[in-house]
Amino acid sequence: MPSYDYDLFTIGAGSGGVRASRVASAHGAKVAVAEEYRVGGTCVIRGCVPKKLLVYGAHFAEDLKDARRFGWNVPDCSFDWSVLRDNVLADVDRLEKAYTETLGNHKVEVIRERAVVKGPHEIALASGRTVTAGKILIATGAWPLIPDVPGAEHGITSNEVFHLPELPKRVVIAGGGYIANEFAGIFNEFGSKVTIVNRSDAILRGYDEQIRDRLLQISMIKGIEFRFNAPFEKIEKLEDGSLRIFMQGCDPIEADCLIFATGRRPKSDGIGLEEAGVALNEKGAVVVDEDNRTSVDSIYAVGDVTDRVQLTPVAIREGQAFADTVFGGKPHRVDYGCIPSAVFSHPPLAGVGMTEGQARNKLGSIKVYQSDFRPMKNVLAGRNERSLYKMIVDAASDRVVGLHMIGPDAPEILQAAAVAVKAGLTKQAFDDTVALHPSMAEELVLLK
């Protein structure tokens, strides 16, 4: 057997890479992980974790107003972006340290420099050192896309949002996906004038149509503006530092900040994959089989760089399955069916399983149950904002094949309900469950 410096060398210390590395080490492998930026990856450093903290901060705008209706003598409050920004960044520092310590505690060597694949078992480091490994794992994640239009360099992406020196008064957000709608809600609550510009005619493709339409309606009532079917033409920077944004089919918009949230591409370029014989698809994603193996037998890939399902929990599952299968003698594969997802908009939405449209196309005969209600808290607060819960049922078997909801705490409620959908429970099983009253979640067992 050939001798290598490491049993496993992981490139990228994000969610998938960290999980795979520490589990492989726990199975007895000698493991190193190279990270050129910060340990923790997109989710921890510049994605879902700091963004969720901004969402929490944004919620206080409405909570403070509502508190007066509940008897609290809350004075007019001002918001200090720099305080929240710095506290969020400090928490990111804490989490990076915790992730680094976790790797160290599992005897994983952390190499803080860029690594490039030089062959099936060879890796070149930025310092000039070359190392060898029995297996190489690519876990480099994905990177925000920037449209190829004149002046695009004047915009930023979600990576830079967390470091803005001051709160922009006017924000234009390009895109209609979850990142665009989440940041629209955040900055709108902070008091910025927000406009979403989308090149297509809809937001949140892939989510249930009624649910995403409800978010659009609520967002517009909250003051967020939308420009649909409006591809960018150019962006100009004015003398005062502001931007003038030109689009097809509508008047230019002036803004203080332009955020591109137009998708993410696999971060596979410049690390020697094609030269090493690793197949990439037309989007640059690493092509892998069901066991995360690439076209080179000794090289594997997990997470967003494979562009299968770009979600942190999925990357973690893939990393676990890889390590258990290759180093643990416990082969298993990730089940990509019935994955729950959420958009932390204002209000948030969440879904699992098939949408109504998908179910009609696949199953033909379905039943749709729904509850359109105003949460108790909103009633007393004087808010007309309504929640919507939908259940999609296979008419032939009575099995619940989809749950979709928008309203306060929708993601927290859906996580437990997703277990029932994954388990294949029937509508009758929901009906047989006693309601927990008074709660919003009880609507799930009272759907008509």
Query: SS3 for 276-308, per residue?
Result: CCCCECCCCCECCCCCCECCCCCEEECHHHHCC
Q: What is the layout of strands, in order, in the sheet containing 193-197?
A: 156-157, 257-260, 170-174, 193-197, 225-227
Give the pLDDT score at 444: 97
* Distance from C-alpha of 26 to C-alpha of 327, rounded to nearest angstrom: 9
Overall fold of domain 6-144+265-327:
FAD/NAD(P)-binding domain (3.50.50)
| Second-level CATH architecture of 347-445 | 2-Layer Sandwich (3.30)
Give the model confidence (pLDDT) of 326-359 as tens digits.
999 999 999 999 999 999 999 999 999 999 999 9
Report the alpha-carbon distance of residue 213 to residue 372 in Å, rounded: 13
* Phi, psi (deg, nearest 5) at residue 90: -65, -35
Which is it for strands 130-138 and 299-301: parallel, antiparallel or unpaired? parallel
Predicted pLDDT of residue 125: 98
pLDDT tens, residue by residue, 103-145: 999 999 999 999 999 999 999 999 999 999 999 999 999 999 9
Looking at residue 2, its pLDDT comes to: 76
Contact assessment for residue 418 and residue 403, using Cβ atoms and an 8 Å cutoff: yes
| Mean pLDDT, all residues of the chain | 97
Map 151-207 to HEC letters: CHHHCEEHHHHCCCCCCCCEEEEECCCHHHHHHHHHHHHHCCEEEEECCCCCCCCCC
Q: Say whether 152-262 and 6-144+265-327 share the same fold.
A: yes
The pTM assigned to this predicted structure is 0.95
pLDDT of residue 1: 62
Q: What is the pLDDT of residue 368?
A: 98
* Residue extents of the structural domains in the chain: 6-144+265-327, 152-262, 347-445
What does the pLDDT read at residue 177? Answer: 97
Low-confidence ranges of the chain (pLDDT < 70): 1
Q: Which fold has domain 152-262?
A: FAD/NAD(P)-binding domain (3.50.50)
Distances (CA, A) of 373 to 90, 96, 389: 39, 41, 9
Residue 317 CA from chain centroid, whole number: 15
- Provide the annotated active-site residues: 437
